[in-house]
Amino acid sequence: MGFMKIILNVLLLVRCWCIAEELELVYQWDQLSSAVSSEHNDILFDAQQSTTQYNESFNAYGNLPMGVSHHKGRLFVTVPRRRPGIPATLNVINMGKVTEVNNPTLLGYPDYLTNTLHQDYSADPKRIISVYRTKVDKCDRLWFVDTGYLEYPGNRRQVQRPALWVINLNTNRRVRRFEIPKEIVEFGYGMPNLEIDVEPGKCDEAYAYIADYQWQGLYVYGLAEDRMWRFKHNFFSFEPRYGRFNIAGQQFVWNDGLFSLAVGARNKDTGDRSVYLHAMAAISEIVVPNSVLKNETLSRSGEDHYAERFKHMGSRGPNTQSSSHAFDEKTGVLFYAEVNRNAIGCWNSAQEFHAENHGIVHLDNENMIYPADLTIDNDSVLWVISNRLPIWIYSKLNTTDFNYRIWRQSTEKSIDGTICA
């Protein structure tokens, strides 16, 4: 072995020692099962005789998990109602009670009744119709948008107005339900994600930032105001050059706009926080001060008055199309779920925003196909769910293989040895 080769090998070894710790697998499923399905199927409806148009018995294949968030040993897992036969769109896993990694059972949250559809699909503000993703805030609350929308193929319907929910996680009781007015958006189906902006100790002054990829809007809800206002901007659109996806053998074009928002660090001079945002079919990142989003008067004064406050930061690099992203206060790092390369990406906000300053903390073309959601809990732990969505949509999942996985890692460990450290 030549001297140079030895040197090279040593260098490679050293590189391996300091490589980031990849994400750790927490749970995996081939198909979901439900606590309800095995015992009493009829809980799906509140009446015994089924006169519904659809067979709403538990349909394992239709239950595709989409979002994950963590609070004190409980994981909140969403299953949007895109097929009949979903007993609960909002679910919980009590991690202390679940020791199995494989195929743990989901439980409806806060209970099955709240998740139950009426037999005639009639509206009911006490019920949750369909949820994509959730957020846990610094005040022990769970936030989500109930789209109110059933996306059954061939029969999509708005059962009721979309609504923002807030649940107190200590009592498991609803503390707010705000119906999103028609003036904000007519249909509920384009709201995949939201972000909460709140300072600890000022829990009453929380703001929710809701992305709408379909109608390319950003809706802000003020908890104290109990009102919602809307921002419009061209930057909320998809980028035509980056709408082509190639995931696990599936090639397709999406035109999803604004998809994820992440509240960043506080600017010491202005007192504002940066809010990062991006469209799904895009590789650009945008930033806006949170004081702009919180300003209802400004939003109502028209796009011309705030358009320039939204800044285009630059490109994250090739194939970095991202579903959710989240900011970690401890490390100052922004983490992205990168659906087009089955990876978790990172950027340290202390560095300039360039593609070269973006790193990868985990990449797995087999086990992490389509990271659909990424959240960071109060202890700076990353949570990721991957669900092979494009195969589910455009082909067929192998139902004896593990398709859905939940992952975690401390943010510090995950960036160790990457450009984001």
Ligand X SMILES: *[C@@H]1O[C@H](CO)[C@@H](O)[C@H](O)[C@H]1NC(C)=O
Q: Which stretch binds ligand X (CB under 6 A): 2-10, 75-83, 317-325, 396-404?
A: 396-404
Question: Residue 310 and residue 292: Cα distance in Å, rounded?
Answer: 9
User: DSSP code of 45?
Assistant: B
Question: Residue 234 and residue 1: Cα distance in Å, rounded?
Answer: 58
Tell me the per-residue interface mask from 95 to 134 with ligand X, x by CB under 6 A, - otherwise: ----------------------------------------
Q: Which of 385, 237, 409 is nearest to 333 (CA)?
A: 409
Nearer CB in complex with ligand X: 70/278: 70
396 near 61, Cβ under 8 Å? no
Shortest gap between Cβ of 56 and ligand X (angstroms)? Answer: 8
Which residue minimizes CB distance to ligand X? 401
The amino acid occupying position 206 is A
CA distances (Å), origin 100, targets 63, 85, 96, 409: 20, 25, 11, 19
Interface with ligand X, residue 400, by CB under 6 A = yes
Shortest gap between Cβ of 373 and ligand X (angstroms)? Answer: 20
Nearer CB in complex with ligand X: 265/419: 265
Residue reference for tokens 């206060």: 329
Site size toward ligand X (CB under 6 A) is: 14
DSSP letters along 76-134, please? EEE---SSS--S-SEEEEEGGG---SBSPPBEESS-HHHHPBPTT----TTS---EEEE
Nearer CB in complex with ligand X: 250/315: 250
Shortest gap between Cβ of 298 and ligand X (angstroms)? Answer: 4
Nearer CB in complex with ligand X: 122/398: 398
Nearer CB in complex with ligand X: 168/237: 168
Nearer CB in complex with ligand X: 151/296: 296
Shortest gap between Cβ of 53 and ligand X (angstroms)? Answer: 12
Candidates 21, 22, 124, 140; binder of ligand X (CB under 6 A) is 140
Nearer CB in complex with ligand X: 159/198: 198
Residue reference for tokens 């970095």: 320
Report angle CA 206, 208, 211 to the nearest 5 degrees. Answer: 165
User: How many CB atoms are located within 10 Å of the residue 364 CB?
Assistant: 16
Tell me the per-residue interface mask from 295 to 334 with ligand X, x by CB under 6 A, - otherwise: x-xx--x---x-----------------------------
Tell me the per-residue interface mask from 4 to 43 with ligand X, x by CB under 6 A, - otherwise: ----------------------------------------
SS3 for 399?
A: coil
DSSP letters along 345-375, please? EEEETTS---GGGEEEEEE-TTTSSSEEEEE
Q: Which stretch binds ligand X (CB under 6 A): 12-20, 120-128, 388-396, 397-405?
A: 397-405
Nearer CB in complex with ligand X: 38/57: 57
DSSP letters along 253-306, please? E----EEEEEEEEEPTTT--EEEEEEESS--EEEEEEHHHHH-HHHHHT-HHHH
Residue reference for tokens 């059933």: 150
281-300 residues in contact with ligand X (CB under 6 A) are: 291, 295, 297-298
264 near 327, Cβ under 8 Å? yes
Question: Residue 372 and residue 354: Cα distance in Å, rounded?
Answer: 24
Nearer CB in complex with ligand X: 99/297: 297
Candidates 9, 53, 55, 246; binder of ligand X (CB under 6 A) is 55
Shortest gap between Cβ of 103 and ligand X (angstroms)? Answer: 13
Shortest gap between Cβ of 92 and ligand X (angstroms)? Answer: 17
Nearer CB in complex with ligand X: 125/302: 302
Q: Which of 255, 259, 235 is nearest to 243 (CA)?
A: 255
Shortest gap between Cβ of 71 and ligand X (angstroms)? Answer: 8
Question: Residue 121 and residue 132: Cα distance in Å, rounded?
Answer: 19
SS3 for 235?
A: helix
Shortest gap between Cβ of 201 and ligand X (angstroms)? Answer: 10
Nearer CB in complex with ligand X: 278/294: 294
Candidates 118, 138, 174, 266; binder of ligand X (CB under 6 A) is 138
Q: By CB under 6 A, name the binding residues for ligand X.
A: 55, 57, 138, 140, 291, 295, 297-298, 301, 305, 378, 398, 400-401
